[in-house]
Structure 1
């Protein structure tokens, strides 16, 4: 559908190596909803195509690959971000992490919980996702000055992907990854789907149960599936 998916056996190790070598990259965790948004948003599509790593996050992307005879294991974005945090926690003060996004107080709680698990984890800074234009400008100056090697951006799709693409030049050696609502889960505000739902590619159903207001956005899933099947038949 005009977007890349990078097929690796070990995304964690690939990103861990880049983190230690100070090789910056933009990580996109691709799902069906994002693909359908990109069809209507050329700027989003361009941001995804320019990313150094696009992982198959959603079940729809896995289905698309399977229809084309490609078996690829799903890589949930939250688990990839957790792997990076664990690696940064083991590396210590030389690899501080910046948490950006979420409602006021959520990112702080998430960072605190991570530091309790990994006392060596260094926090470069924390900002919520409700900054005024003036505060955001000051935040960008701070990023450019501090150059954190790992930046987690939880602004939701597509805002986080667009924001990273526009601002990654501020820290060219950093790994930037959009983490969606991961801060809420780490902070204990929300929970992930049970393992059996995840293993059966039904995590989206649990999310709809938690956030029924998302039903309109979830309509992208059957639209994506129909288009994927139609392309395969064509």
Structure 2
């Protein structure tokens, strides 16, 4: 199996590969537990001052270039790596799962109550043979313990966590021992999109690395967090 080329990005890194999906599927096939981190400019800047997050990112088995800022950073240094949005990698894994892993469970964890269930329903309409267990991200202490017991019992081989950055990275790092042979991946707001609560940017914005602008249009309260992008680009140019 081709090993990714790890490229430094400020105090963290990103992995360069031609096909991230096949790499992850190969890890599933060989029952190699894997933490996938979706790196964007906001996360890279947060890791500058948060040593715990920085360690989690750098210790991940696969770090994909999720954000436009990361791609710009790489291009400024002569790398021609294509962007790999986390939502697209997760979708490609779910599509493959419908044909190669139909008996193995998948877990959706995160979002507001009902969102993970609606996201699972969308996928089940397309691939009825999938087995998806779900839970929302607002659990009581008792419910959280019950969910952990469910993961131990069910041993889902693909666990998608939509708790937002950096909460999902911390949660995965703390709990991946529950399913040591599984793929654990933070997917941010992907459940909201699959559930139909939000929409992705039009294709032309995505192709021009402007998906962040559409996200800001949908969620103007994010403007403070979006300030990380120009700060990151200034660091990239230095």
By the TM > 0.5 criterion, same fold?
Answer: yes
C-alpha spacing 1:130/1:101, structure 2 compared with 1 (3 Å): same
Query: What's the secondary structure of 2:15's corresponding residue?
Result: coil
What are the superposed Cα offsets for residues 73-111 of structure 1, whole Å, 9 maximum, x if unpaired? Answer: 000000000011111122243221011000000100110
What root-mean-square deviation, in Å, do the aligned CA atoms of Structure 1 and Structure 2 show? 0.9
TM-score (norm: length of structure 2) = 0.94
Within the alignment, does 1:204 sit opposite 2:212 as a pair? yes
Give the structure with the higher percent strand.
Answer: 2
Within the alignment, does 1:105 sit opposite 2:106 as a pair? no
| Runs of 4+ displaced beyond 6 Å | none
Note if contact 1:59-1:74 (Cα within 8 Å) is conserved in structure 2: yes
Within the alignment, does 1:141 sit opposite 2:149 as a pair? yes
Given candidates 152, 155, 167, the residue that maps to 2:175 is 167
Q: Hey, what's the Cα distance between the residues in 2 that align with 1:145 and 1:97?
A: 13
Note if contact 2:158-2:183 (Cα within 8 Å) is conserved in structure 1: yes
Query: What's the secondary structure of 1:116's corresponding residue?
Result: helix
Note if contact 2:11-2:44 (Cα within 8 Å) is conserved in structure 1: no
Q: Hey, what's the Cα distance between the residues in 2 that align with 1:205 and 1:179?
A: 19
Query: What's the secondary structure of 1:5's corresponding residue?
Result: strand
For residue 12 of structure 1, what is the aligned residue in structure 2? 21
What are the superposed Cα offsets for residues 202-222 of structure 1, whole Å, 9 maximum, x if unpaired? Answer: 000000000000000000000
Q: Hey, what's the Cα distance between the residues in 1 that align with 2:159 and 2:96?
A: 14
Note if contact 1:92-1:122 (Cα within 8 Å) is conserved in structure 2: no
Q: Hey, what's the Cα distance between the residues in 1 that align with 2:149 and 2:182?
A: 15
CA shift, 1:145, in A, is 2.0
For residue 93 of structure 1, what is the aligned residue in structure 2? 102
Unaligned regions of 5+ residues in structure 1, if any?
none
Residue range with higher mean Cα deviation, 66-75 or 132-141? 132-141
Q: Hey, what's the Cα distance between the residues in 2 that align with 1:45 and 1:80?
A: 22
Note if contact 2:105-2:154 (Cα within 8 Å) is conserved in structure 1: no
For residue 226 of structure 1, what is the aligned residue in structure 2? 234
Q: Hey, what's the Cα distance between the residues in 1 that align with 2:102 and 2:210?
A: 38
For residue 62 of structure 2, what is the aligned residue in structure 1? 53
Note if contact 1:129-1:155 (Cα within 8 Å) is conserved in structure 2: yes
Q: Hey, what's the Cα distance between the residues in 2 that align with 1:97 and 1:20?
A: 15
Within the alignment, does 1:191 sit opposite 2:199 as a pair? yes
What are the superposed Cα offsets for residues 164-210 of structure 1, whole Å, 9 maximum, x if unpaired? Answer: 01111111100000000000000000000000000000000000000
Q: Hey, what's the Cα distance between the residues in 2 that align with 1:143 and 1:190?
A: 28
Within the alignment, does 1:157 sit opposite 2:149 as a pair? no
Note if contact 1:25-1:51 (Cα within 8 Å) is conserved in structure 2: yes
TM-score (norm: length of structure 1) = 0.96
Given candidates 131, 135, 140, the residue that maps to 1:132 is 140
